[in-house]
Structure 1
Amino acid sequence: MRGLNKVTLIGNLGKDPEVQVLEGNVAVAKFSLATAETYRDKSGQPHTSTDWHSIVLWRGLAELAQAYLRKGSLIYLEGKLKARHYDDAAGVRHYVTEVVGEQLLLLDKKTGDALPPAT
């Protein structure tokens, strides 16, 4: 049996991407992405629920993020969930779930430059 690990998000960046260039000249970008859902409670009052997602982009997508994305940018992102863990200096284990982006579209209408679809 085969599995499927696919995530599709549309949301706004919570901060400018943090881009690093690793050994071998490999770029990696990290940022938070907010997605919001609006619903009505039993009395009909609207409420908005916001979820924050940790996003990681590699290589060409990281370079595109550095060039075009800023805090507040509206994007469409396709990717996959990746879980990992690390131990801090005190020996405490931390668990992290991130979305590793595979496709990115800039949805902002305020920029004159169009960002082509990237994979």
Structure 2
Amino acid sequence: MSGSLNKVMLIGNLGRDPELKMTPSGQALARFSVATTETWKNPQGEKQTKTEWHNVVVWGKQAEIAEKYLRKGKQVLIEGRIQYREYTDQSGAKRTACDIRCDNFVMLGRMEDGGSRPSAADRGMDEEPYGAPSPVPASSGGYDEDIPF
């Protein structure tokens, strides 16, 4: 296989509300954290948990939507890629940070829990309701109906 792949999918809870900033060129940028928690039983049968924190960066129109609709504690699915950046901290030391560069996100959970969904207009679309399935083309001979999964 030639080439490479840098793909991340996370389902977790927001650790803080998105913070929206604008770059000098006018590009929107939102940053927030997402916590993912793994649960298992150790050899003694005791329940163990470990939480990992991920820094997420969203750009453009999606950054504006994230700032408007995502809230601390809400569950979200993040699709993107790992991106490293270098910076100098306040003491002058060079540091490296690992971010998830978000290409797409989906708000999960129930709307009754305070979740809200962006309108089609917010997403730059016509009347399609948020979360509606993508239209599937009628069978044109390109799909195999007998796929076992």
Distance 1:93 1:112, change over 3 A: closer
1:114 aligns with 2:114: no
Q: CA deviation at 1:43?
A: 1.1
Question: What is the Cα deviation at residue 23 of structure 1?
Answer: 2.2
Distance 1:71 1:112, change over 3 A: closer
Structure 1 position 88, deviation (Å): 3.2
- Give the letter for the 2:117 counterpart: A
How many angstroms does 1:112 deviate by?
A: 6.4
Could you tell me how far apart the structure 2 residues matched to 1:82 and 1:15 are? 20
Partner of 1:36: 37
Q: How far did residue 87 of structure 1 move?
A: 2.0
Per the alignment, residue 138 of structure 2 pairs with: none
Pairs within 5 Å for 1:23-62: 23-62=24-63
Greater C-alpha radius of gyration:
2
Determine if the alignment matches structure 1 residue 76 to structure 2 residue 62.
Answer: no
- Could you list the runs of 5+ residues in structure 2 that have no partner in the other structure? 119-129, 132-149
The Cα shift of 1:89 comes to 4.8
Distance (whole Å) between structure 1 residues aligned to residue 101 and residue 38 of structure 2 = 22
TM-superposed deviation, 1:114: 3.1
2:92 — aligned with what? 91
Q: Percent same amino acid at aligned positions?
A: 38
How far, CA to CA, are the matches of 2:89 and 2:102 in structure 1? 26
* Paired residue total: 117
Q: TM-score, with normalisation over the residues of structure 1?
A: 0.90
Partner of 1:17: 18
Mapped partners of 2:94, 2:55: distance in 1: 18
**Secondary structure, aligned partner of 1:66:** helix
CA distance in 2, matches of 1:64, 1:70: 11
Runs of 4 or more, structure 1, over 4 Å off, are none
